[in-house]
Every structure is written in structure tokens, then in C-alpha cells.
Structure 1
Amino acid sequence: MSDRTYARFSAYVETELGIKMPDKKKTMLQSRLQKRLRLSGKKTFDEYYDYVFSPEGMQTELAPMVDVITTNKTDFFREPKHFDYLVQTALPQLIRSRGIGVQRAARIWSAGCSSGEEPYTLAMVLSEFRAIAPDFRFSILATDISTRMLDKVKRAVYAQEKAAPVSMAYKKKYLMRSRDRSRKLVRIVPELRSLVRFRQLNFMTADYGLRETMDIIFCRNVIIYFDRPTQEKVLNHLCRCLTRGGYIFMGHSETLNGLKVPLSPVAPTVYRKI
């Protein structure tokens, strides 16, 4: 891939996806696009670029290209203290102060859900919370820019080793093993799958298309790929989608220092809208 072609790809990625693309990422981008280049039948990255942004390519190849460019890394019960804070502090506070979860369903958003481990972890945790608070109601929205990842969320099938962080009690209740034990796969039970809605969303769009504000947003290890101005822009947009007094959970490698956003820290990498 020539420097000129890399500059063309990186300009699109930075502008349309918000992802930082310094020169040192050239090798990574070339490696990730190699398979798409071969499958498209193009001989050079210049030809591939022109094809992607042709009328035909915009319909058939742009989404697969975005899928391979974006980074997708997640786990069940990743950063477990967040889920402890959610059920021990955030939800009781929202119920006491505004009746959220009782007077109406609590609305939880897994933003940048990748292959679905986070929203299904939320579904497990919230289902357990509902068992001790029967009047509690909730809905979960899972979004990601990658259509390939959203297909995985819909199927809800995972390798057994991916389920290692899930407790045995939760495994018995919320996971089904494949009938073909040699495949070493598990699937989220239908009752849990039915609790999660999912759709594609690009954080760089002007309108996120949410009909109602959210009470809790998990947006972890997402803005780390953006530059600081883009981080501030995206976080302010998320805050506009967050109800007054609602919570945002961020990744432990992310910081809000120096960003002008209406959020106040309440726990490590947990913030509340002010």
C-alpha cells in the first residue's frame, strides 16, 4: 500500500469513523484489508479504494471494509467492579431518587457492544437484580458500527473458553451447551436473548436515532481510539442521550481529564450526568 493510498483510507477512517490513524498504523491497515482486497478481485489497494467508494462498492463492500478495520475486543464480566457498582449503588440510587426501574423500565445502553458479551452480561446481572427486586423492569439496547459483530450478537453463540469468567451458577441458568459436545460452544438462553435489542450505530453520525434518553450507558474502551476533540464530541453526544442523574461507565484506560463534558466522577471510571 502506497503512502498516498494509505492517506486516502486513513482520511476516511478518521473523518467517518473517528478512529485515529497515525502513520504507524499503515501496516495494520494493510494487513486487515488484504483479505477484502483478494475477495473483491482487485489487484492493488488503489483499485480497491476506487471500488469501495464507487456506487456499487458503497452498497456491497463499504460495510465489510468497516468491519475489518474496527477493533473488537470484549469479554463476559469485563471489569467486574462495574457490575458490582451497577447493582449495589447506581440502580438503587436511580430507584430511590426518581423511581427509574419501577415507575418505568430502566433503559440501559451497551454502546460499542462488539460481539455481545457486555450486553448479555448486563442481561444476566439485571435479571438477578430483578429476582430480589420483583418490581424492577429494564430494557437493554446494544449497538455497534460493525454489522459482522451484530450478527454475532444475534446468534449469541460463543466458544466455551469465552464463558470462563461466567460463574457456574450463571452458566447453569443462562448458557446452553451445544448438543455436539465436540464443538465446545455455548449459547445464551432464549429468555436472556429476548431482553437485548440491537442495531447498528456510528458514533460520528449527527443523530443517534434514540427515541428516549438512556439511564445507564456502558461505553467502555471505545473512545480510546478517538483523538481528544472527537472524544469530547462523542461524549457530549452521549450525554445528550442520557437522562438527568444517569450514569456512564467508561473503560479503565480512558480518562475525561481536560474534556468539557457534563459528567462528575462517582467511582473509578464511573460518571454521573450533572
Structure 2
Amino acid sequence: MSITADSIFTMPDLPEVGHNDFERAARILRARTGIVLGGHKRDMAERTLAMRARRQGLASVKEYLDHLESDSQSEHWETFINSFTINHTAFFREQHHFPILAEFVKTRKKPISVWCCASSTGEEPYSIAITLREACVSPDSGVSILATDIDTHAIERAREGVYSMERVKPVPEEHLRKYFQRGAGKRAGMVRVKPELRNMIEFEVLNLLSPNWPPSQSFDAIFCRNTMIYFDKATQTRILERFAVTLKPGGLLFAGHSENFTYLTKAFRLLGQTVYVAT
């Protein structure tokens, strides 16, 4: 059986998906979050949308999208957005950044604050916390981390701070013993971040397109790594310029290995190794 571009088809046991539903959903997602949903994700996205519609007892994806567009405060926005966020992360990912952060904070006066603005399931902010505890004198006072992400489920997992032994393999053994508790019984094979590490971090849900930031506080460093690649250039530029006014004088922005901001804005100057300083 052939399916034309103009047809409407039905996935097995799932509501109808119209031929324009993907484009419409991509438009809605981009307007709400800035995330660009590429055409190569069409099949995955259409199945996800159909599953979301089925869970709401709707006959079609069109009805699901109609509901989202008619109610900007709907509780279903949360699951819609979570469905299209990517939570690829690891402890001490792009490891070269952490010695740079350690040396940098040694030159800063307290209070020292770092914003991890795409914290996912917590591996990155906990890596930052370990680095700060090792680098700062008396890290229990005047040292803090704000960890935010748009994905509510990811933030919940980050707050728990529970990981498999496989996930914490990149953590040096001495830091694993110092900052993690090993599970027993039903928790065997798992570890949990110790309170002294968790207490350094405030976890919040935040959309980088929200008008309600930058926060009232300012930061010595911002980690925004492997996140901008999901935005178009105009959105990247707006976010970078907002980062610039959120940083303290001489503050650093840490970017992902595939991200280059030098041609987007004059608000930052490249120091090297995907680290930028606000100009």
C-alpha cells in the first residue's frame, strides 16, 4: 500500500497523524522552547505525538495540538516539551573544562556562584560541585551552583542524585569514595551523592526562552554546553547576550566542543578550548 504526502495515516493502535502535524508540532516546540526539530526526527516525533494523544484519550494528533495551542497554561505542555528534550550527559564530560574552572575560581572572591543552565539529570552540576569543593577554601560557605533545565523529569532525577556504578565510571576513585554513598540491598550497584555535594546545588526548571531570567543573582561562570546546537542563530545570539549581562566582570562561559560563538556576538571573546569571557 502506498501513502501519499497528502494522506492521513493511522499508526497501529494509535490516534491519527496528519501529514502537517509534524510541521505544526515543530513550530509549536520552537516557539515555546527555541528547540529546532529537524526533519530527520519526523518518524520519532510522529509516534511520540500519537502516543501523547492516546494518553489524553484523543482521536487524533490534531486534537492534541489544538489543545496545546488553545491553552498556554495547560499541564500537558510539560510532557510535550519533555518528549523532545535530549538528556545526553555524563560526569566530567569534556573533562578539560574542569581544571580551567578550578584554576579560575581560585582567583575569585566569595561569594562564588556557577550556573549550569542545561543540567539534564545532574551529572554536570555534580561534576562542577566536586571541582568547586576541591578548588575552594571552605567550600561549605559562599560557594553555590544553580542548576536548571527545561525537562522536569530530568530535574527530578538530578535532585535525587542516584546513579548506577556504570554512570559514575568517569569520576576519579578518590572522589567517588569522598562524595558518593554506595547502595546496599535493593540499591546494590547504585550510588547516591552525599549531602555536602547536594547542598551546594539549587535545582530549578527553567526555559532559556523565558523572559523571567536572568536571575537576580550574577555568576562567576556559566556552563551552557552542547545546548545551543538545538537553537537557530537568532535564538543563540539572544541567549548569549543575556548570558553576558548575567556574568560578573571577567566571568566565563563554557561551551560545547562543537559550538562556536565568535561570529554571533561581540558580547564574548574566545579564550580557547571552548571557553569564553564576557567583554
- The answer to whether the 8 Å contact 1:33/1:69 transfers is no
Partner of 2:202: 197
Matched, 1:142 2:147: yes
Partner of 2:267: 262
C-alpha distance in structure 1 between counterparts of 2:209 and 2:92, whole Å: 27
TM-aligned CA deviation for residue 192 of structure 1: 0.9
Q: Normalising to structure 2: TM-score of the pair? A: 0.88
RMSD: 1.9
For 2:237, what is the secondary structure of its paired residue?
helix
Write the deviation string for residues 58-105 of structure 1: whole angstroms up to 9, x where unpaired: 4321101111111111100001110011112x2234x2xxxx23xxx1
- Runs (5+) with no aligned partner, structure 2: 1-16
Q: Greater share of helix residues, 1 or 2?
A: 1
C-alpha distance in structure 2 between counterparts of 1:247 and 1:32, whole Å: 38
Q: Normalising to structure 1: TM-score of the pair? A: 0.89
For residue 79 of structure 2, the aligned residue among 50, 61, 64 is: 64
For 1:161, what is the secondary structure of its paired residue?
coil
Matched, 1:114 2:120: yes
Equivalent position amino acid for 2:98 in 1: F
For 1:122, what is the secondary structure of its paired residue?
helix
Amino-acid identity (%): 32
Partner of 1:224: 229
For residue 82 of structure 1, the aligned residue among 85, 92, 97 is: 97
- The answer to whether the 8 Å contact 1:221/1:250 transfers is yes
Q: Considering only CA atoms, is the larger Rg found in Structure 1 or Structure 2?
A: 2
- The answer to whether the 8 Å contact 2:162/2:191 transfers is yes
Across the two proteins, how many residue pairs are aligned to each other?
Answer: 262
For 2:212, what is the secondary structure of its paired residue?
coil
TM-aligned CA deviation for residue 182 of structure 1: 6.3
- Runs (5+) with no aligned partner, structure 1: none
- The answer to whether the 8 Å contact 1:249/1:269 transfers is yes
Equivalent position amino acid for 1:117 in 2: E
TM-aligned CA deviation for residue 157 of structure 1: 1.0
Distance 1:181 1:165, change over 3 A: farther
Write the deviation string for residues 203-253 of structure 1: whole angstroms up to 9, x where unpaired: 112231511111100010110101111111111111111111100000001
Q: Which moved more, 1:106-115 or 1:184-193?
A: 184-193
Partner of 1:37: 53
For 1:186, what is the secondary structure of its paired residue?
strand
Moved over 4 A (4+): none
Q: Which moved more, 1:30-39 or 1:261-270?
A: 30-39
- The answer to whether the 8 Å contact 1:176/1:187 transfers is yes
Partner of 1:46: 62
